[in-house]
Amino acid sequence: MQIAVIVASSGRSTELTVLGSFLARQTYQAQKVVYSIASVSDVDNNFSTFDGETIIIGPPGLPAQRNRGLDIVVKCCDIVVFFDDDYLPSRFALEGISYFFERNRDVVGINGLLLADGIDGPGMTVAMANKLIDKHDENQPKSFKIMKVLDSLYGCNMAMRAEAIGNLRFDESLPFYGWQEDVDFTAQLRRKGKLVRTDAFAGVHRGVKTGRSSGVCLGYSQVANPIYLARKGTMKNIKAFRLIVKNIAANYTRRNRPEPWIDREGRFQGNILALTHLRRGILDPRFILKLR
């Protein structure tokens, strides 16, 4: 199957170079790879492109950057794969993705097996991730089974049928980091078929902390984005409520003794600002554009 990979990146030139090397060693090569960046500084001197690889530059924001990639590839491939710039795939990843979609015609989108996810911790080094991936690849599973049917996909490692995507695009009303944009996009994709988690491909999400939204911006998004998606109909009201309460509670209780890699005070202040806007009837995910 014709596979295209889209990687949106900003402020992480080192991570982009590392991911590029992991894509180069795939047992099944993508027909097209698009690196959607916000500035020429987002690639370093060690970064080089190969046949079928393209660098595009435009305004920052994860949804917008992914959309620019989609505009290039969605009509010229069978499968679109989105990898975060701090996600490192097994060398069998694209081969497994192709194999799985060929044999599961009712599935339109998939997440792979996460060998580790550093997003809730201090993050993982390349060496740590590589060790896990090498161990996995030495015993490459052959089941290609469906592990779970999903309501939405986790954005760091998702693949989907281009035909099902069609004219669907990420919501650019969720700016910057785009928090929950993957839920919004794939909840709409689910109307075309099944979303599942499978062991057909695997990798590690390193959870690199650089290049993310500020604490205040993310805190505002933690309230504004779920409410926006609930009103839009792409997130259930109860899920939005639980997500908001969970994050506010975590930020409040940990702000005096925060994790070194999380700005809990900033997030909590963003939460309070969003709740104030909600009460005043002016809550808008795009308000974080004014906070930078």
Is the CB of residue 8 less than 8 Å from the CB of residue 34? no
Q: What is the pTM of this model?
A: 0.95
Both tokens of residue 156?
A: 């760091």
**CA 30/CA 77 separation, integer angstroms:** 10
**What tens-digit pLDDT sequence spans the chain (292 residues)?**
999 999 999 999 999 999 999 999 999 999 999 999 999 999 988 887 888 899 999 999 999 999 999 999 999 999 999 999 999 999 999 999 999 999 999 999 999 999 999 998 999 999 999 999 999 999 876 789 999 999 999 999 999 999 999 999 999 999 998 999 999 999 999 999 999 999 999 999 999 988 677 899 999 999 999 999 999 999 999 999 999 999 999 999 999 999 999 999 999 999 999 999 999 999 999 999 998 7
3 state DSSP class of 29: coil
Q: Where are the alpha helices (DSSP H) in 139-281?
A: 162-165, 181-189, 215-232, 237-254, 264-280
Torsion of CA 182, 184, 188, 193, to 10 degrees: 40
Q: Give the domains, in start order, of the chain with CATH numbers.
A: 3-205 (3.90.550.10), 215-278 (no CATH)
Find out whether 221 and 179 touch, Cβ atoms under 8 Å: yes
Going through the chain in order, the beta strands assigned E by DSSP cover: 3-9, 32-37, 53-57, 79-83, 87-89, 107-117, 146-150, 157-161, 194-205
- Chain centroid offset of residue 210 CA: 15
Provide the pLDDT for residue 141: 65
Residues recorded for the chain: 292
pLDDT for position 120: 87
Residue 196 DSSP SS3: strand
Helix/strand/coil percent split, the chain, to 5: 45, 20, 35
Distance separating alpha carbons of residues 121 and 129, to the nearest angstrom: 14
What residues does 54 pair with on adjacent strands? 34
